[in-house]
Amino acid sequence: MEEIILQLIMHSGDARSCAMEAIQSAKSGDYEKAKCLLEESADKLILAHNAQTTLIQAEANGNKAEFSLLLIHAQDHLMSTITVKDLAEEFVEIYKRIR
């Protein structure tokens, strides 16, 4: 169970990093790189969601996960990463329009 939780944290962190890099790329005018980074962020979020789905399915099958600080952190990390990615998409568009 901990391995799956750590995958959720890792993939969420990678997705967040890509989204933040996309903003920096757009800020410097490299919109193609920003687009690629947003796509990479989306791909990493899929992996994070897959880990989350594994946890949900396990619980639905009666293998209830014990609530831990690590599990709460993983869920929090995923949710904040989704927000960062959504905002990064908006920032990239704004930078495009400004230039």
Binding residues for Mg(2+): 76
- Provide the annotated binding site: 76
Q: Which of 11, 49, 73, 77 is catalytic?
A: 73
Output the CA–CA distances (angstroms, integers) from residue 36 to 18, 42, 94, in the order listed: 9, 10, 17
Query: d(Cα 59, Cα 55) in Å, to the nearest integer?
Result: 6
Judge whether 11 counts as a catalytic residue. Answer: no
Rounded distance between C-alpha atoms, residue 40 and residue 24, angstroms: 15
Q: Residue 22 and residue 6: Cα distance in Å, rounded?
A: 24
What ranges in the chain are assigned the alpha helix state H? 2-27, 31-60, 69-98
Which residues are the active-site residues? 73
